[in-house]
Amino acid sequence: MHQATVNHDFVELRRLAHGYKGAAGSYELPTLAQILLGLEQAALSADAEAALACLAEVDDYLHRLEVDYI
């Protein structure tokens, strides 16, 4: 997603964000899904600045995520 944003490939960025948003929902990560929705919307608007801000939020969220194995 970072590379697509840097390359201003908003079609690819939207595709990736949409797919990861669905995966986040499947894993019951609603906060991440909401951030990815924002990224998807930024891609639809071709707003690189907003996309970079969303990517920073995604990175922060994933670094703080703790996974419990059952």
**Across residues 38-64, what is the average pLDDT?**
98
**Across residues 47-70, what is the average pLDDT?**
94
Provide the whole-model pTM.
Answer: 0.91
pLDDT at 36 over 80: yes
Cα 65 from Cα 70, distance rounded (Å) = 16
pLDDT at 67 over 90: no
Type of residue at 57: E
**Band of pLDDT at residue 69, cut at 50, 70 and 90:** confident
Q: Answer whether 17's CB lies under 8 Å from 9's CB.
A: no
